[in-house]
Chains A and B, each alone.
Chain A
Amino acid sequence: MQCIRARSLTKSYGGAGRPAVDGIDLSVGAGSVFGFLGPNGAGKSTTIKMLTTLIRPDSGDLSVFGIDALRFPLEVRRRIGVVLQQASYEPTLTVSGALEKYGMMWDVPAAERRRRAGRLLEEFDLSEIRGKRNDDLSMGQRRRVQVAREFMHDMDLLFLDEPTVGMDPAARRALLDSLRRRAKSGLTIFYTTHVLAEAEYICDEIAIIKGGRTVAAGSPESLKSRFGSGREVRIRVPSRDGRIPALLGGVDGCSVSVDAGTEIRVRPSGSNEALLRVLRVLGSHGIEIDNLSAAPANLEETFLRVVEEEPGAPGR
């Protein structure tokens, strides 16, 4: 079952000659975690604002839960949660007060608000700062409150726009695990991030946009197999040798990068013959090998390749 179905969504701002979003198509299945990735200025936030009905597209169709979101935006908003990229908080409220008040705004009964607030304070490690005012929190703490607050109300679809910005690694992992648990119990999550390891960890499906257009979509594995450059082989040599860049620069069928230290990275573009040639060149010049390891393609590499190679909207 489709949770979000967007067809040819387009949005331009003011007198800008080129659209911020240029005919995007999206299809998000219910109960999945959908990653929405793209470089800065690709149109992610504008797309999210259209999907959450904050702004109207100039053209295109959008249905959420089968509801025409352009005609019945309030019906859609009653069933979604949104953690915006921008911080949003009430400076004068305490952490627990902010949770309670947000629950009240969503018409959650008082007893249920207290129960949920207590649980979320524990889950998001906010108990110790429950009496602190939002104004006095660190950026990461405030972000945790912003995310926790969204779970004060029931929803079927949650939009998270870079939710882990400012969080420490432990808080980030705790949030991702919490989101995975919620997704398993049926919540659909629309997730954007620039930390691609997060997307790889949590997302079932991913779309990459550039220049306001979708340039790649699929599961993380399928994207890596389509766009990843295969495995990367890392060769460690015992000591720095200034000859290596020149020796390996002429090897066909692979790209070679040598860092300032002792690690050589080889990415075969076709068969592994090129790798054998690299090893032969090193051996024939008496360069010993300390260690050799193969690293699989990761999403970050895939993302960079897609963004560099795939054309976005014309003129961008």
Chain B
Amino acid sequence: MHPVARLVNRNLTISLNPGFLVWQVVFPLIYVFVAGFAYSSLIDRVPFGGRDLAYPAYLATGMIGFNIMNSTLVSGVIIWNDRRNGMFEQIMSGPFTRTHYILASVLTQGIVGLASAGLIAGLGLAAYYDQAEPGLEAIPLVVFAAVTGSLLFGSTASIISTRLKTSEGFNVMINTVFLFFAFVSTAFYPAAGAPEPLATAFYLNPLTYLVDVVRAGMLGGGLTDLVLAEMAALAVLAAGLFALATRLLTRLDF
């Protein structure tokens, strides 16, 4: 087996524990089926792509993007755990190069991101089924969102993992980043109606681009100029952050 495949195997094994699965599956489903239907009495219809969507459908598709962000942030944290538990040094003293380690990390994040997207898309189907108008571009759009989103958020976690030295600092930073990504975005609610400057801040958040692309694929609305611009921004940000994460990992001292 190729060294990268062996490391991906190892990464997935240590990631997929019961706590991770609860975090990745149960919590998003609670959002979709409890918060989605409970809040629909407060948020009746949400405008998106020229349509008025029911809130549960809007939230369920938002949760697909949210789950990509959430799962890849967590899998990006493998690097932090490896450093803290001495496994980074141990792996690097074995039959692996840093390139192997970095590629394995990216692939793990990609696999986890795609699996998370698929899982919530499947399990949350009941919430958005009657609103879904997927076109030919639906699958490519969701895959694009999952791959670029995994790269972007996984790289973000990797950068934090390589730069911080204390557990306290790491926890504060990763939770702050998580809260910003999750709640200053259109994953849970639309930007329209939010007060300024919050509404503007929603569009400085890559999770907003990610969920917009997912919604464009799952709910229809197609490749509008806004969605195309968001896809370009996602690609550029993902590439830039990946390059930075790789550079930092390559220079990480023992």
Is residue A74 within 8 Å, beta carbon to beta carbon, of the partner chain? Answer: yes
Give every chain B residue within 8 A of A82 (Cβ-Cβ): 90, 93-94
Is residue A291 within 8 Å, beta carbon to beta carbon, of the partner chain? Answer: no
| Nearest neighbor of A90 in chain B, beta-carbon distance | B14
Is residue A292 within 8 Å, beta carbon to beta carbon, of the partner chain? Answer: no
Is residue B243 within 8 Å, beta carbon to beta carbon, of the partner chain? Answer: no
**From DSSP, what is the main secondary structure of chain A's interface residues?**
loop
Q: Which of B13, B86, B94, B254 contacts A106 (CB 8 A)?
A: B94
| Nearest neighbor of B100 in chain A, beta-carbon distance | A74
B69-92 vs A, CB cutoff 8 Å, 1 = contact: the mask equals: 000000000000100011101111
Q: Which of B1, B13, B81, B254 contacts A107 (CB 8 A)?
A: B1
**Distance in Å: Cβ of A299 to nearest Cβ of chain B:** 28
| B95:A78 contact, CB within 8 angstroms | yes
| B90:A88 contact, CB within 8 angstroms | yes
Residue tally, chain A, CB below 8 Å to B: 25
Bound-complex Cα distance A93 to B85 (A): 12
Bound-complex Cα distance A53 to B7 (A): 20
| A93:B14 contact, CB within 8 angstroms | yes
**Chain B interface residue count: which class?**
20 to 34
**Distance in Å: Cβ of A108 to nearest Cβ of chain B:** 10
| B254:A54 contact, CB within 8 angstroms | yes
Q: Which of A87, A88, A92 contacts B14 (CB 8 A)?
A: A92
| A88:B6 contact, CB within 8 angstroms | no
| Nearest neighbor of A55 in chain B, beta-carbon distance | B254
Q: Which of B6, B17, B86, B97 contacts A105 (CB 8 A)?
A: B6
Bound-complex Cα distance A104 to B10 (A): 8
| A86:B89 contact, CB within 8 angstroms | yes
Is residue A52 within 8 Å, beta carbon to beta carbon, of the partner chain? Answer: yes
Give every chain B residue within 8 A of A53 (Cβ-Cβ): 93
Is residue B40 within 8 Å, beta carbon to beta carbon, of the partner chain? Answer: no
A77/B95 contact (C-beta < 8 A), A104-B6, A104-B10 known = yes
Is residue B9 within 8 Å, beta carbon to beta carbon, of the partner chain? Answer: yes
A88/B87 contact (C-beta < 8 A), A49-B254, A105-B6, A107-B1 known = yes
| B10:A101 contact, CB within 8 angstroms | yes
Q: Which of B7, B13, B90 contacts A93 (CB 8 A)?
A: B13
Bound-complex Cα distance A193 to B14 (A): 31
Q: List 15 A-B contacts (CB under 8 A).
A: A77-B93, A84-B89, A86-B86, A86-B89, A87-B85, A87-B86, A89-B86, A89-B87, A91-B85, A92-B14, A92-B17, A101-B10, A104-B9, A106-B94, A106-B95
Q: Which residues of B contact A (CB under 8 A)?
A: 1, 6-7, 9-10, 13-14, 17, 81, 85-87, 89-97, 253-254
- Beyond A53-B93, A88-B86, A105-B91, 6 additional pairs, beta carbon < 8 A: A52-B93, A54-B254, A87-B86, A88-B89, A89-B85, A91-B85
